[in-house]
Amino acid sequence: AGLVVRPIVSPTLLSSYCSIPSYYYTSTLLLHYSPFDYNPGPPHNTSNTKMTFSKMKMSYTSEVQLHPLSNYTFGTKDALFERDASVPARFQRMRDEFARIGMRRSVEGVLLVHEHRLPHVLLLQLGTTFFKLPGGELQSGEDEIEGLKRLMFETLGKKDGSKDDWTIGENISNWWRPNFEPPQYPYVPPHVTEPKEHKRLFIITLPEHALFAVPKNYKLVAAPLFELYDNAQGYGPIISSLPQAMSRFNLKYM
């Protein structure tokens, strides 16, 4: 198991890999003037105003601290299997539970690290093409925060049974499943009166150092935000939307 940094791309190849102009990687970035981002002073000074990235004054709702990927240790533990043997079985169980207790509630954690000041998200990889955030279903009546802590321990907690104090941060997105089918949306469609599932994503603030025990049937993958962006085909709509969801945060590299 252990950790895989995905993909392994040198900074010199990065601009061609993700189709970002090479000037993005210079020490400064020239931007078009926008009155919402920068106040150049009296109108007679605006004709030739240029601004560097380091001088930008931006307003963020919150700050998230990212520690280097090398700060973390990754071990293995017993395999963690899905409750359902197949996709049809999963939706049949959802139907049965919906009839008894109503809408399913699920939570997932977003764990962020950085590699050379590039933000990465830790994902669980099953097989070659399936990726997921750590988390899962809440029990009936279970608190969201306590439930996510429980699920994080079950998924990545140490195999000796000692519990980590997971620090659950802000809710960054909400997704709704209108039917007993795979599609989920970041809104409730107007014709849907009883969604079948509500999924909430939370930032998890990582300590400076930590040990993660990865189930041996999974790989833990560090995926850079630029690879996730606009890549629903590779990661699905929820994971591929994380770059947009994270854009309101000031990412502070420690």
Tens digit of each residue's pLDDT (9 = 90 or more) over 66-84? 999 999 999 999 999 988 9
**What residues form DSSP beta bridges with 160?**
none
Mean pLDDT rounded to a whole number for the chain: 83
Q: What pLDDT is recorded for position 165?
A: 75
What pLDDT digit, counting tens, does each position of 83-117 carry? 898 999 999 999 999 999 999 999 999 999 999 99
Q: What pLDDT is recorded for position 55?
A: 56
In a domain, residue 133? The reply is yes
Q: What pLDDT is recorded for position 72?
A: 94
* Domains held by the chain: number: 1
Query: Quick one: average pLDDT of 4-29?
Result: 39
Q: What pLDDT is recorded for position 11?
A: 33
Q: pTM score, two decimals?
A: 0.78
In a domain, residue 207? The reply is yes
In a domain, residue 167? The reply is yes
Q: What pLDDT is recorded for position 12?
A: 31
In a domain, residue 244? The reply is yes
Q: What pLDDT is recorded for position 58?
A: 63
What pLDDT digit, counting tens, does each position of 196-223 carry? 999 999 999 999 999 999 999 999 999 9
Q: Note whether 207 and 243 are within 8 A (CB).
A: no
Question: 209 is written with which tokens?
Answer: 């150092």
- Nearest 5°: the CA angle 153, 157, 162 is 95
Give me the CATH number covering residue 176.
3.90.79.10
| Residue range(s) defining the domain that contains residue 229 | 3-22+60-253
In a domain, residue 76? The reply is yes
- Cα–Cα distance measured from residue 224 to residue 230, given in angstroms and rounded to the nearest whole number: 12
Q: What pLDDT is recorded for position 14?
A: 34
In a domain, residue 161? The reply is yes
In a domain, residue 55? The reply is no
In a domain, residue 37? The reply is no
Closest CA to 107 of 163, 166, 162: 166
- Cα–Cα distance measured from residue 226 to residue 222, given in angstroms and rounded to the nearest whole number: 12
Query: Quick one: average pLDDT of 146-154?
Result: 95
- Cα–Cα distance measured from residue 178 to residue 146, given in angstroms and rounded to the nearest whole number: 26
What pLDDT digit, counting tens, does each position of 228-239 carry? 999 999 999 999
Q: What pLDDT is recorded for position 164?
A: 72
Task: Please indicate whether residue 26 or residue 169 has the higher confidence score (pLDDT).
Answer: 169
